């Protein structure tokens, strides 16, 4: 069984996907990690991020492995644990250069399908999972939340890590990421026609999972 979860950055889809996979005892595929790993390689190698062929070459040279570690999934590239290195602000801010070029997406979509094939039942999370990568998935979710609520959560999360962030700046970053996610020509963030839409604004993380489980049970 394949369950896809797509949605914008900060909507809560990643937490939901991880928890859902755990509760169902399914594997979990973090497809954002493939774009992040490509970006990390490009930054480390000093590649011109706007050079689409060079970015596609970085993607083609990935040797990715994802491995469950406690409640999380560790990401390795060519044997190196890059789980933390792909989550820095620098990688987050530049991942759009990996996400936009069709040549990169072609390589990474193929990689994601290959990884999926080895997983058995799995939950996959990204932007184009229900539309492009796994259009035949049994259950598709599209997770949304308002920009303001996503910014509020992010500011709270940063505060927990001891960082004081300005709400308006965080909100502007989120809206900027939305713009680049929704507007790219290939693999844009888009609601699959057959998706169940969940707005997480009023939800606790647990409520989102419960709504998802209720839909999955209904579809079995």
Binding site for ligand DC (CB under 6 A): 9, 31-32, 35-36, 95-96, 99, 126-129, 181, 187
Q: Which is nearer to ligand DC, 31 or 203 (CB)?
A: 31
Q: Which is nearer to ligand DC, 99 or 216 (CB)?
A: 99
Name the residue whose CB lies closest to ligand DC.
Answer: 32
Closest distance of CB 32 from ligand DC, Å: 2
Secondary structure of the chain in HEC code, one letter for each residue:
CEEEEECCCCCCHHHHHHHHHHHHCCEEEECHHHHHHHHHHHHHHCCCCCCHHHHHHHHHCCCEEEEEECCEEEEEECCEECCCHHHCHHHHHHCHHHHCCHHHHHHHHHHHHHHHHCCCCEEEEECCHHHHHCCCCCEEEEEECCHHHHHHHHHHHHHHCCCCCCHHHHHHHHHHHHHHHHHCCCCCCCCCCCCEEEECCCCCHHHHHHHHHHHHHHHC
Closest distance of CB 177 from ligand DC, Å: 7
Q: Which is nearer to ligand DC, 166 or 176 (CB)?
A: 176
Closest distance of CB 117 from ligand DC, Å: 17
Q: Which is nearer to ligand DC, 1 or 73 (CB)?
A: 73
Closest distance of CB 218 from ligand DC, Å: 26
């Amino acid at each position: 069984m394949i369950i896809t979860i797509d949605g914008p950055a900060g909507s809560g889809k990643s937490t939901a996907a991880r928890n859902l996979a755990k509760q169902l005892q399914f594997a979990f595929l973090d497809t954002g990690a493939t774009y992040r790993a490509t970006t990390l390689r490009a930054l480390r190698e000093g590649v011109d991020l706007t050079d689409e062929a060079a970015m596609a070459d970085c993607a083609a040279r990935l040797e990715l492995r994802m491995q469950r570690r406690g409640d999380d999934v560790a990401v390795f590239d060519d044997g190196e644990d890059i789980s933390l290195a792909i989550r820095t602000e620098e990688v987050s801010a530049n991942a759009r250069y990996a996400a936009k070029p069709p040549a990169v997406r072609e390589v990474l979509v193929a990689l994601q399908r290959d990884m999926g094939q080895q997983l058995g039942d799995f939950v996959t999370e990204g932007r184009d999972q229900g539309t492009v990568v796994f259009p035949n998935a049994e259950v598709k979710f599209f997770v949304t939340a308002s920009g303001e609520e996503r910014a509020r959560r992010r500011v709270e999360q940063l505060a927990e890590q001891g960082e004081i962030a300005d709400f308006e700046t965080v909100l502007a970053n989120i809206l900027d990421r939305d713009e680049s996610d929704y507007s790219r020509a290939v693999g844009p963030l888009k609601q699959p026609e057959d998706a169940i839409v969940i707005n997480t604004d009023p939800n606790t993380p647990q409520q989102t999972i419960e709504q998802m489980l209720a839909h999955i049970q209904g579809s079995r």
